[in-house]
Amino acid sequence: MSPTGRDPSRPTAVGAQRPVLVFLFAFGLALLPRLLFFLEWRGAAPLNLPVVDAATYDSEARAWLAGSWPGADPFWQAPLWSFVLGTVYRLFGWHWEAAWLLQAFLGAGSAVLVYALARPRMEERWAKLALALVAFNGPLIYFEGQLLRETLAIFLLLLWAWWEDRQRARPIIDGLVSGLLLAGASLCRENALPLVLVAAATRLLPRFAPVGSHQRDRRLSLAALGLGLALGLLPVTAHNLRAAHSWVPISTSGGINLHLANNPKAAETLAIRPGRDWDALTARPAREEGLFLPAEQSRYFYRQAVHYIATDPLGFLRGLLAKSCDLFAAREIKRNLDLYEAREGSRLLSLLLWRLGDFGFPFGLLFPLAVVGIAWRARSDRLLLMAAVYALGLILFFPSARHRLPLVPFLILFAAHGAAEIWDRARAPHAARTLLRPALALSAALTLSVLSGSWFVGRARTVDQPAEPPFLRGTSLAALGRDPEAITQLRRAVELDPGHEEAWSDLAVLHGRNGDLPRALEAAHHALAADSSFAEAWADLAATQAAAGDTLQAERAYRRALTLSPDLEPALVGLSYLLSRQRRDTEALALAATFAQRAPRSAELTLLHANLLGRASRPTEALAVLERGTHYRADHPDLWNNLGIARARAGNLSGAETAFRRALSLAPGHASAQRNLERVAGQRK
């Protein structure tokens, strides 16, 4: 077999003379189940609601349309999918269905690319098997119904792999396009970036080079690869450099993601879900070292992970073993939502995605066949090198069902090889003897895959949590302003788990903002009955009591919340406003000044602090507070507007105009900033 995986002894693919028709057929075959799933999924509410990361991408896409994203912070996660999703919204309006359709077409395109990679490597029937395995793969189809980046990442990775698999006739063009495709994949999923090592190796090592290629051409291609990668990453890296004043190539989420899976309590941190525990984890850099900026916090978590690896290498290796089990587990290991729950919303998915105990279909069959294919037919294939590098990156972090998804198309190619090997041996003379070794390998891989679903971290993260899906859907609906639906979902969560203090707490907030104070009080008391140490519940209780006019009890509840969590922003802001409304300005100012160091990124607290200083006739200090506030929250238009007012009062009209313009750049419809800008511009004439 050649270094690219082509086998010259294989028969020429059927339909080689009509490639356009062949690939159109492949695209249509893969698109059909995706369209069927789309028709079912669009009516599968509330199962189809975007939650957690999907809700974040949706929010960022809408913020991009409004001109408020990206803000003044560096990117938290790779931004390409948010831009693509925003473009879909710009073209078709804010409709999730348009995004799902786009992902269906991208998924069908990925199937065509797998077919294109398979045809030179194997007989046509096995290439068609690879196509079918992608076309009817349940996890791939399921994630195409989520507003998540994996579908786009898979398409870009396969497009890059196909481009790398071609004969390189023009070294500069080949290297440049490869670099740009890798940059695109990395801006969709950061862990695609190490694949540049594979691209470089295939240009530096003669065994991977096309026959007759010159060393000079390989060097030119390598240089063009670096240029393409740099050009692709440049816009995002430049934004991060301006925002963070430090080197952040793509995003700042890498530090905490590395720490999650590489620390002495990895089994616990990997099981953390959005909410109270996640907030406590993300608050550690600020609480322990006074680090509030995203880039600083990311470096904090990187240091924590590196320290753990250096001081406990055996523990680190045990963790890698546990995560390897996760990577190859037959069942789909959830990160936030359980894939198998989605079967309720789609008959098609219920056929293509299911499990019996720790055996999951289709991965439970796909992985063992891939092992056979790798062992007997794909050992010298460069696709294996690509898959191995990507897999190592996953194991270093955490390989849940969603994160391992980009590996699935590569495993499907290897599985087609495995099926071909078993079929050929079964038809050969003395089949029982020739099949023995592949059969043993298949059985061993199947056993490992099934057992992996219950070993180490895998078991801890697959425990059923029936209240989690409605809780996450409730928080997502609340963020969208669909309060009645959110309340219904949160009520469902507390029915399933009456001790779910976070769901009770969110219910208190929703009832409170909708004016139903008795139910808000009831929900807050339920949250505290479930866990009296839950600071957010005390803050919710205080806010409800304040709205009901019981200021004495509200103050006590706020102070209780701050005793439990001294840097809890809602309690800091709520108590400060409570004191301010009672005209207890001295106490409110002292509180705001004391806690300003603990929550410098709270725009509300900063605005209140500056306002109190202004009422106390301390304009210079108010100006300093606002200057500091825009340093930590440069994305907040009200801070810039108030800073402009403070600068104008101090006689700095030029600085005031700059601040008002910055407010308008963040919020073009900010009426107050527009009036203030016109007023200052008139004074400067």
SS3 sequence, 646-685? Answer: HHHHCCCHHHHHHHHHHHHHHCCCCHHHHHHHHHHHHHHC
The answer for residues whose C-beta is within 8 angstroms of residue 314's C-beta and 6 or more apart is none
Domain boundaries, position 215: 19-244
Q: How much is the pLDDT for 14? A: 43
Asked, for residue 486, whether it belongs to a domain, the answer is no
The answer for residues whose C-beta is within 8 angstroms of residue 9's C-beta and 6 or more apart is none
Number of domains in the chain: 1
Question: What b/e readout covers 447-485, taking b as 16+ CB neighbours within 10 angstroms?
Answer: ebbbebbebbbbbebbeeeebbbbbbbbbbbbebebbeb
Asked, for residue 115, whether it belongs to a domain, the answer is yes
**Closest by alpha carbon to 453, among 563, 333, 548?**
333
pLDDT per residue as tens digits for the range 480-502: 889 999 999 999 999 999 999 99
Asked, for residue 119, whether it belongs to a domain, the answer is yes
Q: How far is CA 96 from the centre of its chain?
A: 18
pTM of the model: 0.88
Q: How much is the pLDDT for 292? A: 83
Distance CA 341, CA 146 (A): 14
**Closest by alpha carbon to 659, among 637, 681, 629, 631?**
637
Asked, for residue 117, whether it belongs to a domain, the answer is yes
Asked, for residue 166, whether it belongs to a domain, the answer is yes
Q: Helices in 428-534 by DSSP H: which ranges?
A: 431-434, 436-452, 456-460, 468-479, 483-496, 501-513, 517-530
Q: How much is the pLDDT for 169? A: 72
Distance CA 220, CA 226 (A): 10
pLDDT per residue as tens digits for the range 305-323: 999 999 999 999 999 988 8
Asked, for residue 129, whether it belongs to a domain, the answer is yes
Asked, for residue 106, whether it belongs to a domain, the answer is yes
Report the half-sphere exposure of 361 (CA within 13 A, side-chain side): 10
Q: How much is the pLDDT for 18? A: 67
Q: Cα–Cα distances in Å, from 54 out to 144, 147, 191, 558?
A: 12, 5, 18, 33
Q: Collapsing DSSP states into helix, strand and coil, what is residue 536? A: helix
pLDDT per residue as tens digits for the range 400-449: 899 999 999 999 999 999 999 999 999 888 888 889 999 999 999 999 99
DSSP 356-405: ETTEEETHHHHHHHHHHHHHHT-TT-HHHHHHHHHHHHHHHS---HHHHG
| Residue 167 burial (CB count, 10 A) | 10
383, 161 contact by CB (below 8 A):
yes
Phi first, then psi: what are they for 159, rounded to 5°? -65, -40
107, 30 contact by CB (below 8 A):
yes
377, 350 contact by CB (below 8 A):
no
Q: How much is the pLDDT for 456? A: 47
Q: How much is the pLDDT for 463? A: 58
Q: How much is the pLDDT for 464? A: 65
Q: How much is the pLDDT for 68? A: 74
Asked, for residue 32, whether it belongs to a domain, the answer is yes
Residues of the chain with pLDDT under 70: 1-18, 206-213, 454-464, 684-685
507, 475 contact by CB (below 8 A):
no
Maximum Cα–Cα distance for the chain, whole Å? 98
Q: How much is the pLDDT for 209? A: 60
Q: How far is CA 65 from the centre of its chain?
A: 20
Is the dihedral angle over the CA atoms 47, 53, 54, 58 positive or is it negative? positive
Distance CA 484, CA 390 (A): 43
The mean of the pLDDT values for the chain is: 89
Question: What b/e readout covers 259-293, taking b as 16+ CB neighbours within 10 angstroms?
Answer: bbbbbeebbebbbbbbbbeeeeeeebbbeeeebbb
| Residue 24 burial (CB count, 10 A) | 12
